[in-house]
Amino acid sequence: MVEEENIRVVRCGGSELNFRRAVFSADSKYIFCVSGDFVKVYSTATEECVHILHGHRNLVTGIQLNPNNHLQLYSCSLDGTIKLWDYIDGILIKTFIVGCKLHALFTVAQAEDSVFVTVNKEKPDIFQLVSVKLPKSSSQEVEAKELSIVLDYINQSPKCIAFGNEGVYVAAVRDFYLSVYFFKKKTTSRFTLSSSRNKKHAKNNFTCVACHPKEDCIASGHMDGKIRLWRNFYDEKKYTYTCLHWHHDMVMDLAFSVTGSSLLSGGRESVLVEWRDATEKNKEFLPRLGATIEHISVSPAGDLFCTSHSDNKIMIIHRNLEASAVIQGLVKDRSIFTGLMIDPRTKALVLNGKPGHLQFYSLQSDKQLYNLDIMQQEYINDYGLIQIELTKAAFGCFGNWLATVEQRQEKETELELQMKLWMYSKKTQGFILNTKIHMPHEDCITALCFCNAEKSEQPTLVTASKDGYFKVWILTDDSDIYKKAVGWTCDFVGSYHKYQATNCCFSEDGSLLAVSFEEIVTLWDSETWELKCTFCQRAGKIRHLCFGRLTCSKYLLGATENGILSCWNLLSCALEWSAKLNVRVMEPDPNSENIAAISQPSVGSDLFVFKPSEPRPLYIQKGISREEVQWGVFVPRDVPESFTSEAYQWLNRSQFYFLTKSQSLLTFSTKSPEEKLTPTSKQLLAEESLPTTPFYFILGKHRQQQDEKLNETSENELVQLPLTENIPAISELLHTPAHVLPSAVFLCSMFVNSLLLSKETKSTEEIPKDVDMEEEKESENSDEENDFTEKIQDTNNTDLGEDVIHQLSKSEEKELRKFRKIDYSWIAAL
């Protein structure tokens, strides 16, 4: 049995990738980036996450390659440690304990045994660049307390510090001055620009700095979009600078190429500019990168660049300014209007993504699957511009249809509204625009819902709007002799005393439509569009509305702005119960009768899980988050859990995710999801000779094993080692028709186990015995099958959790057991 741990709120995936500059490995095969408490290692060719380096207990703030051994990586964190990693194997080699919060990390090849970090000692806003001597010691954890201050009163951001000309000097910028510290002379020069008193130079602030790798030249970026190239800074009087100006907004980051022949810059325009030979004339552009460029880094080999963007994306760019790979995390740049949805097909989380896009984000693999371009318009990245916002979206008919609403409101009276309906195309495996409705309503659309009943013959969509109407849209045949086509048209327009329609919701079987008009809930027959019934509680505007499901389908729930949660019985048309609860989020579980409500008393948020039929909540957890929870969603589990404790049973079949105001995606779990995430792509290491595809790893490894085994057998014929073809588990797996096999997830571990060579002869002997015994028992009394399954699981420690078995149908169970029996039979032959 799964041990009953306490359920706690855990952060789940989607952490920032763009917090610090990404770092390339020496051979440009890997790219490292900080991501929350972890360091992620990605392959530059396949965009796959190869390793996640765990170990830090707080935000990782800096990473650098070890200049003395390019297969090692230093990382520093707010927990006050510097860790040294072997990134190929993902192993922690050493931990240096510094003891104070570290904000940035720098390494210099010349200073062999020390690294540079940014710390703040006394006041919160004063940062110092210090050099830390790393003691040589064989132990795992070493204290590194030997600090020496290099520069004081510097900027926190690592972009504002750069080491130049092979570590001869270090340049740091802050506000209006540039400080250069020369290591040999141990002197600091300071260059100041005219400050804000002069209006013309008001935006002269330094934003970033970079140093030429070969020459004595410092490039600095400024708030007004200028780039200054500083030379002759050895002399505080004779220094010169030249200006490069293309950016019209702040320069976000600068980087010199490895040879120093070109300078890269980027900013809010989301255009990567390459300045050749440091002249204003020779420049190349890579436009339309999608979002503000936050960081730029260059690979040590010089063949790749990479840009980190504000939409949580890392873009790998070739030397010739061609984008070659995109590593995309959960986009969190903007406010979420659409709420959290689940794509019924891919089970991906769907929400606002890039401007004008809908992102499909896989919760399992913590990876963005794809972006759907809803707006299909050129994005103009300019400050203060009123953009078209994707405000509503809904999936319908088991993922076959997607409805989206976009709006742009410049003034009170000028509203642009467009509704788009997208059809899933099996051919292209994506959504294709079917119908575009210009101004579906006169005012903002407040709610959008599809009728998701199984028996409904005609896809139906309902939109509710502030203009006091709700409209029913149906799919109609639009074909003529030239082509077959379907399109959406308005079927019915309803209103109730010109009140604003605020919510709409279909019952589970699709027979009733509930539309709330401010304080009043109306019920409509979906066949005839007749008004059946109204409920009114006089307790403020209805904020959420949902029908009960399964056995509780006779209940309708409404939460009002004044903090009243009401439950009406649809059979008696009367109020069943009401509770005083200031509900922020109310979400029904698609797999059960449960409904989750998140309330916000005064500070923090509380979660209540209840069934409409029982006024007593099933589960209460107070203080799930300190901030306001904005959206929540139940995600059906692929593999059902089996919590026996009554309080946690609501998590058995679905998992609850919620998004807070600061856009962190949280969930409930007994273990952290990162633990659960086995890096499946671990094998996808970029190897030297062969192209690395998943097929290679399935077939190539297989082949290798086979070869090895063949060799061994030829060497020593006494030891019979099984050929992979002869393993029954494999042959069974390959020859059983796919439709009777359980999901690959179940079979995988078994399949892998059968490929392993067992060394512990003892255990192998025990297991066949057990299996034999069970077989006998089974033949004796097959009625007690359920008891047996548990016993089997108790006796052999296969990776198949018993929780899996519980939820399987009997036929599947038998099938599985068959596999298990076969699985070990080859061991008996030893």
Partner 1 sequence: MAGYKPVAIQTYPLLGEKITQDTLYWNNYKTPVQIKEFGAVSKVDFSSQPPYNYAVTASSRIHIYGRYSQEPIKTFSRFKDTAYCATFRQDGRLLVAGSEDGGVQLFDISGRAPLRQFEGHTKAVHTVDFTADKYHVVSGADDYTVKLWDIPNAKEILTFKEHSDYVRCGCASKLNPDLFITGSYDHTVKMFDARTNKSVLSVEHGQPVESVLLFPSGGLLVSAGGRYVKVWDMLKGGQLLVSLKNHHKTVTCLCLSSSGQRLLSGSLDRKVKVYSTTSYKVVHSFDYAASILSLALAHEDETIVVGMTNGILSVKHRKSEAKKESLPRRRRPAYRTFIKGKNYTKQRDDILINRPTKKHLELYDRDLKHFRISKALDRVLEPTCAIKTPEITVSIIKELNRRGVLANALAGRDEKEISRVLNFLIRNLSQPRFAPVLINAAEIIIDIYLPVIGQSPVVDKKFLLLQGLVEKEIDYQRELLETLGMMDMLFATMRGKEGTSVLEHTSDGFPENKKIES
Cβ 57 to partner 1 shortest distance, Å: 36
- Phi/psi region, residue 581 (left: phi>0; alpha: psi -120 to 50; beta: rest), is beta
Segment near partner 1 (CB under 8 A); pick from 128-136, 177-185, 197-205, 408-416: 408-416
Residues 488-517 within binding reach of partner 1 (CB under 8 A): 492-495
DSSP secondary structure of 468-511 = SEEEEEEEEE---SS---EEEEEEEEEESTTPPEEEEEE-TTSS
| Closer by beta carbon to partner 1, 47 or else 216 | 47
Among 138, 139, 413, 809, binds partner 1 (CB under 8 A): 413
Cβ 300 to partner 1 shortest distance, Å: 21
| Closer by beta carbon to partner 1, 410 or else 725 | 410
Segment near partner 1 (CB under 8 A); pick from 334-342, 379-387, 571-579, 822-830: 379-387
| Closer by beta carbon to partner 1, 183 or else 492 | 492
Sort strands 501-506 and 512-517 into parallel, antiparallel or unpaired. antiparallel
User: How far is 265 from 248, CA to CA, in rounded Å?
Assistant: 12
The pair of three-digit structure tokens given for residue 523, joined into one six-digit string: 């019920």
Among 280, 284, 530, 638, binds partner 1 (CB under 8 A): 530
For residue 484, the tally of other CB atoms under 10 A from its CB is: 9
Q: Does 388 bind partner 1 (CB under 8 A)?
A: yes
| Closer by beta carbon to partner 1, 318 or else 814 | 318
Cβ 528 to partner 1 shortest distance, Å: 8
Segment near partner 1 (CB under 8 A); pick from 22-30, 412-420, 692-700, 734-742: 412-420
| Closer by beta carbon to partner 1, 530 or else 687 | 530
User: How far is 44 from 46, CA to CA, in rounded Å?
Assistant: 6
Binding residues for partner 1, how many (CB under 8 A)?
A: 35
User: Nearest-5° angle of CA 830, CA 719, CA 770?
Assistant: 15
User: How far is 347 from 199, CA to CA, in rounded Å?
Assistant: 54
CB 687 within 8 A of CB 46: no
Phi, then psi, of 827 in degrees rounded to 5: -70, -35
Over the window 325 to 364, marking each residue x when it contacts partner 1 by CB under 8 A and - when it does not, the resulting string is -x--------------------------------------
Helix (H) or strand (E) holding 826: helix 810-828
Cβ 719 to partner 1 shortest distance, Å: 41
Segment near partner 1 (CB under 8 A); pick from 14-22, 119-127, 181-189, 376-384: 376-384
User: Nearest-5° angle of CA 622, CA 628, CA 634?
Assistant: 70
Sort strands 313-318 and 583-588 into parallel, antiparallel or unpaired. unpaired
User: How far is 452 from 196, CA to CA, in rounded Å?
Assistant: 60
**219, 596, 664, 805 from 787: Cα distances, Å:** 73, 33, 43, 12
Segment near partner 1 (CB under 8 A); pick from 4-12, 372-380, 774-782, 822-830: 372-380
CB 336 within 8 A of CB 663: yes
CB 376 within 8 A of CB 323: no
Residues 205-224 within binding reach of partner 1 (CB under 8 A): none
Among 138, 385, 428, 454, binds partner 1 (CB under 8 A): 385
Among 123, 237, 384, 574, binds partner 1 (CB under 8 A): 384
| Closer by beta carbon to partner 1, 233 or else 370 | 370
Among 3, 122, 125, 414, binds partner 1 (CB under 8 A): 414
**Among candidates 51, 43, 54, which has minimal Cα distance to 83?**
54
**66, 136, 172, 324 from 114: Cα distances, Å:** 11, 10, 19, 35
Cβ 154 to partner 1 shortest distance, Å: 34
| Closer by beta carbon to partner 1, 233 or else 496 | 496
Cβ 480 to partner 1 shortest distance, Å: 7
The pair of three-digit structure tokens given for residue 366, joined into one six-digit string: 């913590």
- Please name the residue ranges forming H helices in 685-809: 694-695, 701-715, 728-735, 744-755, 761-780, 785-795, 802-807
Among 378, 688, 715, 780, binds partner 1 (CB under 8 A): 378
Residues 47-66 within binding reach of partner 1 (CB under 8 A): none
Residues 689-708 within binding reach of partner 1 (CB under 8 A): none
Among 347, 408, 637, 653, binds partner 1 (CB under 8 A): 408
Cβ 284 to partner 1 shortest distance, Å: 15
Cβ 783 to partner 1 shortest distance, Å: 58
Segment near partner 1 (CB under 8 A); pick from 24-32, 475-483, 618-626, 749-757: 475-483
- What DSSP designation does 806 have? H
| Closer by beta carbon to partner 1, 325 or else 342 | 325
Segment near partner 1 (CB under 8 A); pick from 124-132, 375-383, 653-661, 771-779: 375-383
Burial 679-710 (b: 16+ CB within 10 A, else e): bebebbbbeeeeebeeeebeeeeeeebeeeee
Q: Does 714 bind partner 1 (CB under 8 A)?
A: no
Q: Which residue has the tokens 């986009």?
A: 331
| Closer by beta carbon to partner 1, 158 or else 494 | 494
| Closer by beta carbon to partner 1, 516 or else 663 | 516
Q: Does 271 bind partner 1 (CB under 8 A)?
A: no
Q: Does 149 bind partner 1 (CB under 8 A)?
A: no
Q: Is 732 helix (H, G, I), strand (E, B) or coil?
A: helix
Residues 176-195 within binding reach of partner 1 (CB under 8 A): none
Over the window 428 to 467, marking each residue x when it contacts partner 1 by CB under 8 A and - when it does not, the resulting string is ----------x---x------------------------x
Segment near partner 1 (CB under 8 A); pick from 193-201, 231-239, 385-393, 727-735: 385-393
Cβ 433 to partner 1 shortest distance, Å: 11
- At residue 653, what is the residue type? R
Cβ 289 to partner 1 shortest distance, Å: 6
Segment near partner 1 (CB under 8 A); pick from 506-514, 523-531, 785-793, 817-825: 523-531
Q: Is 620 helix (H, G, I), strand (E, B) or coil?
A: strand
User: How far is 36 from 58, CA to CA, in rounded Å?
Assistant: 8
Over the window 286 to 325, marking each residue x when it contacts partner 1 by CB under 8 A and - when it does not, the resulting string is --xxx------------------------x-------x--
Q: Let me know if 509 is exposed, middle or buried by CB neighbors in 10 A (0-12, 13-18, 19+).
A: middle
The pair of three-digit structure tokens given for residue 665, joined into one six-digit string: 């995606």
User: How far is 637 from 656, CA to CA, in rounded Å?
Assistant: 10
Segment near partner 1 (CB under 8 A); pick from 477-485, 604-612, 647-655, 701-709: 477-485
User: How far is 327 from 318, CA to CA, in rounded Å?
Assistant: 15
User: How far is 171 from 155, CA to CA, in rounded Å?
Assistant: 11
**Among candidates 425, 269, 291, which has minimal Cα distance to 356?**
291
Q: Number of helices and strands (H, E) in the chain? A: 9, 57
Among 529, 550, 615, 712, binds partner 1 (CB under 8 A): 529
Binding site for partner 1 (CB under 8 A): 288-290, 315, 323, 326, 373, 376-378, 380, 382, 384-386, 388, 408, 410, 413-414, 416, 438, 442, 467, 469, 480-482, 492-495, 529-531
